[in-house]
Each structure stands twice: as C-alpha cells, then as structure tokens.
C-alpha cells in the first residue's frame, strides 16, 4: 500500500507522444525507479514519488479527484477538461503548475483542398468534426459564430471525405497527416505543449515541500537543456566586442591570466546553444583557447 500522506503520486501518459519525455524529465530531476509487475506503476526508490500510467485524457480527472497529486498532460487536454468542469459548476479546479518544453502542437481548423477559408466567419453554418468540442465551442461563442460541432472520438481527419463534416478541428504538429488527407491548415485556435497540473486540494506539508523541490528541479532541467559553459582567452581591448558575441549570457567571470598583462580568461554560462558560427566570430574578434562545455545541472 502506498503511503498517500507522504508519497507524491504523479499521473503520466501510459503510451503515446508524451510518455518518453515525461519519464525522462523525472529521471533528469533525479528520480530512480523500479517498475511494478503490471507496468501500470513506477515506484520511486530515492524520492517519495510514484508514477501512475494512464490514458492522457484521464489525467485531469485523476488530479481533479485527488487520486493523483500531479499530472503531466497537454494544454489541449487541460483546456478541454477545464471548460467541461467549469460548465458543470465544479470548483475548485486543478491548477496548472508550469508548462514544459515538449509536446508542442496546435489545435487548428483544417479544410479540404480547394475549399476557401478567409477567417472564422467562414465557419458559419458549417459542420466541424473534432475531439475537442469544448475548446471549439468556446472559440465559436467568442467569435459569435453558429456552426455545428460533430464530436468524434478519433480519426477526425477522414470525416470530410466520409461526408460527416465540412471542416475539422484537430491537433497538428508537422501537418503531414493533413496533407495525406488532402486538407490544409486554415486557422489555429490553441497553441499547446505539455504542462504539469496539481490537485485542487491542499496537500500535507511534506508533499508540498516535494512539489516545490520538483518544480525547482524541472526549472533547472529546462534551463540546462540549451545552456553551455564557455571558456576562452581574450585580449582586454576586445572584451566589449567578445561579450556581445556570447549568446544569452549574463555577467561573465573575467580573470587575469598568469604571466599576461593584455589577456584575460572569460567564463560564461550561455543560455542558448553555441554554434560553430559563434566560435568563428569569437575567434575573429580575437578570442583564443575557446572551450564549450555542456551544463549538467543548474539552480538559480
């Protein structure tokens, strides 16, 4: 039996686009785990945190009902459920803790090739197939447009060909599924990425402290991804120019070089990736002995 009072329970997608990135994120935050025999749970060995694997659509409900303390799911699912809960007068609602840097996609209106679409008014009187009736409904209400929403549970992209709808409203990332189905992306109604949500109910102090620590670690993991530690030697006279070339760096450390009066060592954390072009520009500006290292952990 898992100790509900002290161990955090986190819901992740069981098998899908968010699964690998979400588990990888927790591992980067320091989690070591063992898998349950049924593969439905992972048990944290070095952190009081256990993972429950479920369908992504169930995650907001599990967090809302306080079965799980935290959940990782796309903003598209979060918004869809939030509107549905609000419409049923349910409060307080699960809260969004932070967005994550993966799972990016958009909920878009797509229309068959050869069909015109100017703006949202082109939806007037049309049938639109979607698995997101709440988000689409809100969009139509906000634009004051009357249209028929055809709610499907999947395979939305074939609805126009089957004559079930005129347009669709579906998730798009590369757009290749749309092209394969002779549709074009006409309008975006929601930009999405993965996010963490938490239970609406206050949690015991011990768990709250772990939510705080986990959030800080996730922040660190996300910052570190693109960050590099850069070291170089620079002529003092060129310092101003060289600092301008360091991408996304704040206040580099500048140190004297033993036995040299005109050269200094510069160390800086760059928050953006450092490309070969940057190294070439640094060299042209007079830098030498340039080293770029990956940053493994970071805490502000």
**Residues 43 to 82 in contact with Zn ion, rule: CB under 5 A:** 56-57
Q: Rounded to whole angstroms, how far apart are CA atoms 254 and 35? A: 48
Phi/psi-derived region of residue 67, left when phi > 0, alpha when psi is between -120 and 50, beta in every other case = alpha
Is residue 11 at the binding interface for ligand ATP, with CB under 6 A as the rule? no
User: What's the closest the beta carbon of residue 242 comes to ligand ATP, in angstroms?
Assistant: 40
CB of 195 to ligand ATP, least distance (A): 9
Contact mark string toward ligand ATP, 79..118, x via CB under 6 A: ------------------------x-x-------------
3-state secondary structure of 65: coil
Q: C-beta of 190: minimal distance to ligand ATP in Å?
A: 10
- Residue 17 CA to residue 1 CA, distance in Å, equals 30
Tell me whether residue 81 is exposed, middle or buried, using C-beta atoms within 10 angstroms of its C-beta: 0 to 12, 13 to 18, 19 or more.
Answer: buried
Cβ atoms < 10 Å from Cβ of 263:
19
Closest to ligand ATP by CB, 19 or 115: 19
124 touches ligand ATP by CB under 6 A = no
CA distance 152 to 171: 13
240: CB partners within 8 A, 6+ apart: none
Residue 170 binds Zn ion (CB under 5 A): no
Chain residues 190-209 in contact with ligand ATP, contact rule CB under 6 A? 192
Alpha helix positions (H), 2-47: 19-28
Choice from 50, 56, 69, 157 touching ligand ATP (CB under 6 A): 56
State the minimum distance, in angstroms, from the CB of residue 284 to Zn ion: 51
Q: Which residues contact 142 (CB under 8 A, 6 or more apart)?
A: none
Judged by beta carbon, residue 75 or residue 242, the one nearer ligand ATP is 75
- Number of residues binding to ligand ATP, judged by CB under 6 A: 15
Question: What is the contact surface with ligand ATP in residues (CB under 6 A)?
Answer: 13, 16-18, 55-57, 74, 76-77, 103, 105, 171, 173, 192
């Amino acid at each position: 039996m898992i100790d509900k009072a002290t161990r955090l329970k986190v819901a992740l997608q069981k098998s899908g686009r968010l699964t690998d990135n979400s588990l990888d994120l927790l591992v980067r935050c320091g989690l070591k785990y063992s898998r349950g025999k049924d593969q439905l749970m992972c048990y944290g060995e070095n952190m009081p945190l256990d993972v429950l694997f479920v369908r992504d659509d169930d995650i907001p409900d599990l967090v809302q009902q306080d079965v799980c303390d935290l959940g990782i799911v796309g903003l598209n699912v979060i918004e869809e459920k939030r509107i549905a809960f609000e419409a049923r007068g349910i409060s307080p609602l699960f809260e969004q803790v932070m967005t994550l840097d993966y799972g990016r996609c958009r909920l878009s209106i797509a229309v068959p090739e050869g069909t015109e679409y100017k703006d949202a008014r082109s939806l007037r009187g049309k049938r639109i197939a979607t698995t997101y009736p709440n988000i689409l409904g809100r969009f139509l209400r906000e634009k004051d447009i009357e249209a028929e929403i055809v709610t499907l549970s999947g395979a939305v992209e074939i609805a126009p060909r089957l004559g079930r709808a005129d347009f669709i409203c579906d998730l798009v990332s590369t757009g290749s599924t749309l092209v394969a189905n002779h549709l074009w992306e006409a309008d975006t109604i929601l930009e999405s990425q993965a996010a963490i949500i938490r239970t609406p109910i206050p949690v015991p102090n011990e768990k709250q402290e772990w939510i705080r620590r986990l959030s800080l670690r996730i922040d660190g993991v996300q910052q570190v991804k693109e960050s590099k530690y850069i070291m170089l030697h620079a002529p003092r006279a060129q310092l101003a120019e060289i600092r301008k070339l360091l991408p996304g760096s704040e206040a580099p450390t500048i140190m004297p070089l033993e036995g040299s009066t005109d050269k200094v060592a510069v160390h800086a954390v760059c928050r953006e990736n450092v490309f070969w072009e940057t190294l070439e520009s640094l060299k042209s500006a007079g830098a030498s002995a340039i080293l770029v290292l990956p940053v493994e952990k970071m805490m502000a």
